[in-house]
Amino acid sequence: MTRPVIAVTTSNRTGWRVFPLINLNLWITGGKGVRWGVGRVVDLDHVDGLIIGGGDDIGPELYGGKLGISAKLDPERDELERCLAEAALDRNIPVLGICRGSQMLNVALGGTLDQDAWTTYGTNRKITTILPKREVCVESETHLSLISGEKPMKVNALHSQAVDRLGDGLRISARDTGGMVQAIERVRDPFALGVQWHPEHLFYAHRQRAIFRALVTAARAYRMDRNQTHAMRAEMAAP
């Protein structure tokens, strides 16, 4: 069986080192990644899933906020990923958001962000590392709890922004011990999960690999449904 193809958006600045690591996680769990970004986009018809990767902060103009402390912005990438997220969800393509990507998923569905989350929740709680030093508590009866279990988990943290008001059709699936939102998910299909941490750096942890495996499984199901639909349409159109 061929591997589901997952589009992975990255920044032009750091994608060269981010994409191979995400692709490794996809390959381990049965998928295959293709790198997207500004100037690299392929049609959604040719992929089975979408990962919106991490990177620079999201411009506040996308959710009606005011430019505050954000120093690194990428308006072209913002517009690209917002449009991709909206189109993917509209077409039932499974989506995984990682860090910035989780925030973009929220914004694409009408939510807002806290531009200076560490000030809001306490700078004494700030952790910036790819190592699993931050504890998050998974909400029960959520998709994330079914994917990775309900026990608290240790994750990394590289972000400065966080989800504030939830987007339409989303719910919180994890918070850290200080109350900051660490994961969100779409209540109904299609599969859409956003995690504030970077599970690609934690591929040695089975609970983190499970996140990628869930995306690949959803992408495989999406591809099967799409192929069946195309086959039915072709049969109906045949003389």
**Positions marked catalytic:** 99, 198, 200
Determine the residue type at 238. Answer: A
Full pLDDT tens readout for the chain, 239 residues:
699 999 999 988 777 789 999 999 999 999 999 999 887 766 899 999 999 999 888 888 888 876 665 556 788 899 999 999 999 999 999 999 999 999 999 999 999 999 888 888 877 778 888 899 999 999 999 999 999 999 999 999 988 899 999 999 999 999 999 999 999 999 988 899 999 999 999 999 999 999 999 999 999 999 999 988 878 777 777 77
Burial class (CB in 10 A: 0-12, 13-18, 19+), 171: middle
Tokens of 100: 């910035």
Alpha carbon distance 52, 84 (integer Å)? 9
pTM of this structure: 0.93
Measured distance CA(163)–CA(58) in Å, rounded: 11
What CATH superfamily is the domain 5-237?
A: Class I glutamine amidotransferase (GATase) domain (3.40.50.880)
- Residue 26: CB partners within 8 Å, gap ≥ 6? 6, 8, 32, 33, 51, 212, 215, 216
Q: Please tell me whether residue 237 adopts helix, strand or coil conformation.
A: helix
d(CA 37, CA 74): 11
Tokens of 64: 């009606």
